[in-house]
Amino acid sequence: MARFLMKMQWSIEAMTDDSADQSGDNNTRLFSAIQSFLSKLYGKLKKLRKGLPLKILFFLIGFYCATAFATVIGQTGDWDILSAGLAVAIVEGIGALMYRASFAFLGRIRKMITIFNYWKAGLTLGLFLDSFKYEVDEFLESCNPFNIDINIFSLW
């Protein structure tokens, strides 16, 4: 019976987690978890900030390429299927290189692959937003909400 009470007492102490008495600092588990989260977040932000202008530049170049790509291909209309297939192949190729960089020869060019991943993100976002542009134009032409006819002389 005494052994059962000792186990019960130990499990209650483990649930309350009096680690402050053992380690010397007065941190709770919640405070320690928040500190751990903030330190990890700070590390990720520091890593993201490294080379930020180059990353933004390649993202904007990708966005510009998407606009140019959609405009040039949209003029002829003959190469739509082939150009869409080429765009998908490029995006998937960059994605495959990005997530399979464990190969020895890809490890050396990891930074270049990461930069092209930002270009890919800009290209994808640009094509996505460009598709909405044409839908909005068609919608505005069909309902014409900015053309308001008011005839004030019809009352007389």
Cβ atoms 28, 88 nearer than 8 A: no
Please indicate whether residue 96 or residue 5 has the higher confidence score (pLDDT): 96
Which tokens belong to 37?
């989260």
Angle at 124 between CA 117 and CA 44, to 5 degrees: 40
Domain assignments of the chain as residue spans, ordered by start: 51-144
Would the CA dihedral through 84, 72, 130, 55 be positive or negative? positive
Question: What would the pLDDT profile of 8-42 be if each residue is shown by its tens digit?
Answer: 555 444 455 554 445 556 678 888 889 999 999 99
Give the per-residue pLDDT at 95: 83
Is the model's pLDDT at 81 over the cut of 90? no
Distance CA 82, CA 4 (A): 75
Which 3 state secondary structure label does DSSP give 50? coil
For the entire predicted model, the pTM comes to 0.57
Please indicate whether residue 109 or residue 74 has the higher confidence score (pLDDT): 109
First to last CA, the chain: 104
Is the model's pLDDT at 57 over the cut of 80? yes
Question: What would the pLDDT profile of 103-142 be if each residue is shown by its tens digit?
Answer: 666 667 778 888 888 999 999 898 888 877 766 666 666 6
Burial (Cβ within 10 Å: 0-12, 13-18, ≥19) of residue 151: exposed
Give the per-residue pLDDT at 20: 47
